[in-house]
């Protein structure tokens, strides 16, 4: 791609760092945008270099979402902040049953950030966007002084088109409906914690970060009656189910033994005193559908590469208190509450 701008000296990608000039609106910024973002995200809408992307849309309902990504460390087993920023926003659109169309990307960079780190994050973001088939068509870059950021913050917004006939909402769960998840829970949360200084433990565990829109499209094609979809990110499965119960005015009853959890996630949680039900996921979804359609939905999910460990984990029940309850493997029941504050490792 040739640039229309007169450029300064070549950027030193190996040892260079982000300077305030990279966000000043001048030549350094134009050069960074051209050589890095436009080149990596490579699509005709972005290549026009206008202040906005222009496109036509078909008639019908649209979905729009935005999410900001702040994560430490920037690179973790199974992903990085760049791929996460694509997957998270694509998934937020997918949870409405929408077909994701376009993404925007806003970067807040800290002065001193190695350019090599930025280049790796952007390359990962571009790869995730290409793999998902959802281009990044407009963007923004700001630089904050050293000490006022944490390397990189990324905001992505997305828009998508909701196919006719799809009606998904958090208030649509009804007593009797089945509750499904597409695989093991807590993988992302514990993969991140394994990298944290002071808490570190060694594990082959990877983040489950993935774009779920193709899985959702298959699920909707097989079972158009899906009532609720939500991705249990921060706060984990427990928090997501409490949200859905509150919105729909129902209770939920889970079967503990049916919830897929990897042994290493369970053990890492036991070590740190955490509960996998509250651990974050980035490639998981909760689906609620009429019980008569649950087996078909389960089979569809299991046939997808992102749903191999899918399971029916419980059912929606009538409960004016809107509680999420779990049946332990021992015949007892306990309430699964909202997350109180932040999950912190315990000694006791």
Residues that bind another protein (CB under 8 A): 198-199, 201-205, 257, 263-264, 266-268, 270-273, 320-323, 328-335, 337, 340-341, 344-348
Query: Assign residue 253 a region: left if phi > 0, alpha if psi is -120 to 50, beta otherwise?
Result: beta
Are the C-beta atoms of 337 and 242 separated by less than 8 Å?
Answer: yes
Distance in Å, CB of 196 to another protein, minimum: 9
Distance in Å, CB of 253 to another protein, minimum: 13
Which of 305, 341 has the CB closer to another protein?
341
Distance in Å, CB of 277 to another protein, minimum: 11
With H, G, I as helix, E, B as strand and everything else as coil, classify residue 42. Answer: coil
Which of 1, 204 has the CB closer to another protein?
204
Q: At what angle do helices 213-222 and 81-94 cross, to 10 degrees?
A: 20
Contacts 24+ apart (CB under 8 A), 340-346: 343/274, 343/275, 343/278, 343/279, 345/199, 345/272, 345/273, 345/274, 346/272, 346/273, 346/274
**Cis before residue 73, ω within 30 degrees of 0?**
yes
Which of 122, 268 has the CB closer to another protein?
268
Which of 221, 271 has the CB closer to another protein?
271
Compute the distance between CA of residue 166 and CA of residue 174 in angstroms, rounded to an integer: 17
Beta bridge partners of 255: 327
Largest CA-CA distance found in the chain, in angstroms, rounded? 73
Distance in Å, CB of 193 to another protein, minimum: 10
Which of 261, 301 has the CB closer to another protein?
261
Distance in Å, CB of 133 to another protein, minimum: 34
At which residue do the structure tokens 């780190």 appear?
117
Which of 58, 344 has the CB closer to another protein?
344
Strands 136-144 and 99-110: parallel
Q: At what angle do helices 294-302 and 213-222 cross, to 10 degrees?
A: 140
Which of 147, 331 has the CB closer to another protein?
331
Distance in Å, CB of 291 to another protein, minimum: 24
Distance in Å, CB of 316 to another protein, minimum: 18
């Amino acid at each position: 791609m040739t640039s229309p701008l007169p450029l300064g000296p070549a950027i030193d990608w190996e040892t260079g760092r982000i300077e305030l000039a990279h966000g000043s609106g001048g030549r350094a910024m134009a050069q960074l945008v051209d050589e890095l973002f436009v080149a990596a995200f490579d699509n005709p809408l972005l290549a026009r270099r206008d202040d906005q992307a222009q496109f036509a849309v078909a008639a019908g309902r649209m979905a729009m979402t935005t999410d900001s990504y702040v994560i430490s460390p920037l690179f973790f087993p199974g992903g990085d902040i760049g791929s996460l920023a694509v997957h998270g926003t694509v998934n937020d659109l997918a949870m409405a049953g929408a077909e994701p169309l376009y993404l925007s990307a806003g970067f807040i960079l800290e002065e001193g950030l190695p350019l090599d780190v930025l280049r790796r994050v952007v390359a990962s973001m571009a790869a995730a966007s290409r793999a998902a088939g959802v281009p990044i068509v407009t963007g923004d870059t700001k630089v904050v002084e050293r000490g006022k950021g944490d390397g990189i913050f990324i905001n992505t917004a997305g828009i998508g088109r909701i196919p006719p006939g799809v009606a998904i909402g958090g208030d649509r769960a009804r007593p009797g409906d089945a509750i499904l998840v597409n695989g093991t829970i807590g993988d992302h949360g514990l993969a991140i914690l394994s990298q944290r200084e002071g808490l570190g433990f060694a594990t082959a565990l990877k983040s489950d970060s993935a774009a779920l829109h193709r899985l959702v499209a298959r699920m909707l094609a097989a079972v158009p009656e899906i009532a609720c979809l939500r991705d249990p990110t921060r706060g984990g499965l427990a928090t997501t189910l409490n949200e859905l119960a509150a919105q729909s005015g129902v209770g939920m009853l889970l079967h503990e033994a049916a919830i897929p959890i990897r042994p290493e996630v369970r053990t890492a949680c036991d070590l740190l005193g955490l509960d996998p039900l509250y651990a974050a996921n980035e490639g998981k979804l909760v689906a609620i559908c009429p019980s008569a359609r649950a087996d078909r939905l389960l089979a569809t999910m299991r046939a997808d590469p992102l749903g191999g460990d899918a399971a029916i984990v419980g059912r929606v029940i009538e409960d004016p208190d809107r509680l999420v309850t779990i049946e332990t493997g021992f015949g007892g029941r306990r309430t699964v509450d909202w997350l109180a504050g932040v999950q912190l490792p315990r000694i006791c």
